[in-house]
Amino acid sequence: MRQQPVLLVIAHGSRDPRHAGAVHALVRRVRSMRPGLRVETGFLDFNIPSVQGVLESLAAEGVREVVALPLLLTRAFHAKADIPAVLRDAPPRLRIRQAEVLGPSPLLLSALERRLYEAGLTPADKSSTGVVLASAGSTDPEAIAVIADIAREWWHTGWCAVRPAFASASLPRTEDAVRELRELGCSTVAVAPYVLAPGFLPDRIARGAARADVLAEVLGPSPEVARLLLERYDTARTRMPAAVSA
């Protein structure tokens, strides 16, 4: 029987230990949701194991098929360049399929709302609450456009207003979006970090949320994110090339 491909979750990595902690917590949740699926974690930078190291270990064990899943919310430089470059250097015996990035997805909107409700809001607050959708930021126009589209889509679910903001590379900053929502007349202003793990840029988002009423936690190991990882894995797995007998 053909074995199911190994799921390799590829995270960016950070000097901040909270980043790796959140990634590992998310991977543990994924494993708990699908017992029997082998899930490994590799980092592009700062943390170990490296993506290359994991791929070499898998090949040495005799693994043949891998789904490489970028732990990214937008399709920017890391998904377009860094990760494909690392995968091209993988041991040739591995058949690797790169899955799509996580966003956009309705599951991520559900995770964002979960975090806002955990921070103290209720569904009854939606019509009077303005939300800042605060992402890390990017120089990639496609990624910036996706964040703006998500903000518009989320606003149509009943929030008073939703404004995108960025911690780096792009404008507006979180504090500017908070001020805009105040001027717009929203009774409550909440900041929803559209990031997966704590670190330098999420901390900048938190500082920019100082004048907001509510600051949600990062998405982290929320069940919706874990479910989305499995959906992306399943989609990529169906496109795996047929196994070739040795």
pLDDT digits (tens, 9 = 90+) for 94-111: 999 999 999 999 999 999
Average pLDDT over residues 215-244: 90
| pLDDT confidence tier of residue 3, bands split at 50, 70 and 90 | confident
Cα–Cα separations (whole angstroms), residue 117 to 29, 106, 148, 171, 213: 21, 17, 22, 27, 13
Nearest to 5 by CA among 46, 64, 45, 81: 64
Question: 195-207: per-residue pLDDT in tens?
Answer: 999 999 999 999 9
pLDDT at 14 over 60: yes
Bridge partners, 66 (sequence order): 6, 96
Is pLDDT larger for residue 246 or for residue 151? 151
SS3 content of the chain, % helix, strand, coil (to 5): 45, 15, 40
